[in-house]
Structure 1
Amino acid sequence: MNQSHNTLGKVYLVGAGPGAADLITVRGAKLLAQADIVFHDALVEPEMLALCPRATLVPVGKRCGKLSSAQHFINKRLVDAAHKYQTVVRLKGGDPMLFGRADEELSTLKDAGVEVEVVPGITAALAGAASIGQSLTLRGVSRSVAFITLAQATENPVFGEPLANPSADTLVYYMGRKDAARIAQQLIEQSPNHGANTPVQILESVSTPRERQWSSTLFELAAGKADQWFDSNSPALIMIGEALRENKVTQSQNIVESKTKAA
């Protein structure tokens, strides 16, 4: 619906979730159905775009390592759209507030006097844990989880050095495919909580029909055993930690019993 010259539309930053169209929130799906225009990431599934029957669809890229629209250009288009349309949706993969550069879009829209609302989505780490049926936390084993990305906030992403010593028990790396072996090697060498035998779970295109999984250890990952397995066209999630070990329940019980005896 076109706006009058004296009013501004509202912009919604909507989390598309990890991939599957039916994992978007009910609020997000309702907004897609009402939207006049939708600016969507490249990773958004076609089935989800079918939820926007009345909207003008505008792809804006944002696939790590691939050609995409410059962030400042996306910001400007959102402001311009608010002058023309009543309901504007910026559909972002996963959750808008996690590695989604939502802060830049929020700041630009607020500075322009445009009303904006964030609708959260399921981030890939949670969908990945659900897919493999293994919790990221575990009593006596993992009390903390870190979400990490090595991608820098530039228009042409570059990858920095892996974090030398992440303090969390379970580590989840987003957009870490190119640095997977280096991440593993550095953890083995420098992290007291993540030795060579630490379990690793890698998921690509989580929650979609194209989902693939690779299960091994930090030693195998450091040796480059996953390098040829990766599909450069699919988003990958690297999860590392003892909570991902298959015999984790027995492991947790043993740790708790050991602490009880020591006390």
Structure 2
Amino acid sequence: MTLYGIGLGPGEADLVTVRGKQLLERADIVYSPGRLSRSVALEYVDEDAIGDLDFPMTKDEEKLRRAWKEAAEVVAPKAREGDVAFVTLGDPNVYSTFGHLRRTLEAFHSDVDLEIVPGVSAMTAFATALGVEIEAGAGLSLREAANGASPTGPDRMILFKVTDAPATHEGLIEAGYDVRYGRRLFMEQGETLITDDPTELAERDYYTLAYAERQDLEIESPTAAFQRGGHQ
């Protein structure tokens, strides 16, 4: 009897992994922390098998700890009796609500068996959506950029939670970066938008990311060399 933390991917139901799909279809109950993950899970499970958990959007640590503990108290007995899934967009171990639940279960219900099923993350799928190639040997840093933050330093960055794109853009341009944005990439919920114009993203949206690359960065990607009349 196991609790499975299942990554659903960025939001399109057909980007759920085969393993994730199989476990969802056989789970006795599937817990969802929000409406977006719930809508993806419903592609594979009946609505009466979905259980909701309350994870308040607050920075009040006491309220958060109380919510995590209450959620663990709901999930733990079910996971002792049968197979239970907790679904989350993206990957369960990458900036995910599941991490709070896992740590709380380990602290108060350590007998519960846990297994994590990785999911496609928008922070890797961005390269396909934005037409970016990160070649072998290149460095890429992951940064949070909520509320207009403009992290700088690395030659290449993927920024997530870009909730104030115009402010973030201003700081990055001043620091010498070229920037491209993607909103709701590979998501069925809402309109996907890809742009290098931050004014198109004036409306705040948690599911916005950016790729920033230094303007003076010299990239020499290896290629196969060919000669006319044959190849080497």
> In which range does the TM-score fall when normalised by the shorter chain?
0.7 to 0.9
Shift of 1:63: 9.1
**Partners in 2 of 1:128 and 1:148 — Cα distance?**
14
Cα distance 1:206–1:236, how it changes in 2: closer, same or farther (>3 A)? farther
Q: CA RMSD in A?
A: 3.4
Deviations 1:22-59 (A, max 9, x none): 11111111100110111113222635323124862023
* Paired residues of 2:88 and 2:97 also in contact (CA < 8 A): no
Report what 1:15 is aligned to: 7
Report what 1:36 is aligned to: 28
Paired letter, 2:211: M
Report what 1:86 is aligned to: 82
TM-score of the pair, normalised by structure 2:
0.74
Report what 2:123 is aligned to: 125
**Partners in 2 of 1:63 and 1:132 — Cα distance?**
32
Report what 1:5 is aligned to: none
* Aligned counterpart in structure 2 of residue 203 of structure 1, from 183, 205, 211: 183
**Partners in 1 of 2:18 and 2:40 — Cα distance?**
15
Shift of 1:129: 1.9
Report what 1:165 is aligned to: 152
Report what 1:237 is aligned to: 209
Paired letter, 1:171: M
**Partners in 1 of 2:191 and 2:23 — Cα distance?**
27
Pairs within 5 Å for 1:109-258: 109-111=105-107, 112=109, 113-135=111-133, 137-138=134-135, 143-150=138-145, 159=147, 162=149, 164-167=151-154, 169-177=155-163, 179-189=164-174, 191=175, 194-195=176-177, 198-208=178-188, 210-216=190-196, 220-221=197-198, 225-228=199-202, 230=203, 232=205, 235-241=207-213, 252-253=219-220
**Partners in 1 of 2:56 and 2:190 — Cα distance?**
17
Q: What are structure 1's unaligned runs of at least 5 residues?
A: 1-8, 152-158, 257-263
Cα distance 1:25–1:102, how it changes in 2: closer, same or farther (>3 A)? same
Q: Does 1:71 align with 2:68?
A: yes
Shift of 1:242: 5.6
Which SS does the other structure have where 1:226 is aligned?
Answer: helix
Cα distance 1:171–1:116, how it changes in 2: closer, same or farther (>3 A)? same
Q: What are structure 2's unaligned runs of at least 5 residues?
A: 59-63, 223-232
* Paired residues of 1:33 and 1:54 also in contact (CA < 8 A): no
Deviations 1:101-133 (A, max 9, x none): 443322222331111011100001222222233
TM-score of the pair, normalised by structure 1:
0.67
**Partners in 2 of 1:86 and 1:129 — Cα distance?**
38
**Partners in 2 of 1:61 and 1:238 — Cα distance?**
29
Deviations 1:34-88 (A, max 9, x none): 10111113222635323124862023366978xxx843433332223224x4101
* Aligned counterpart in structure 1 of residue 52 of structure 2, from 30, 43, 59: 59
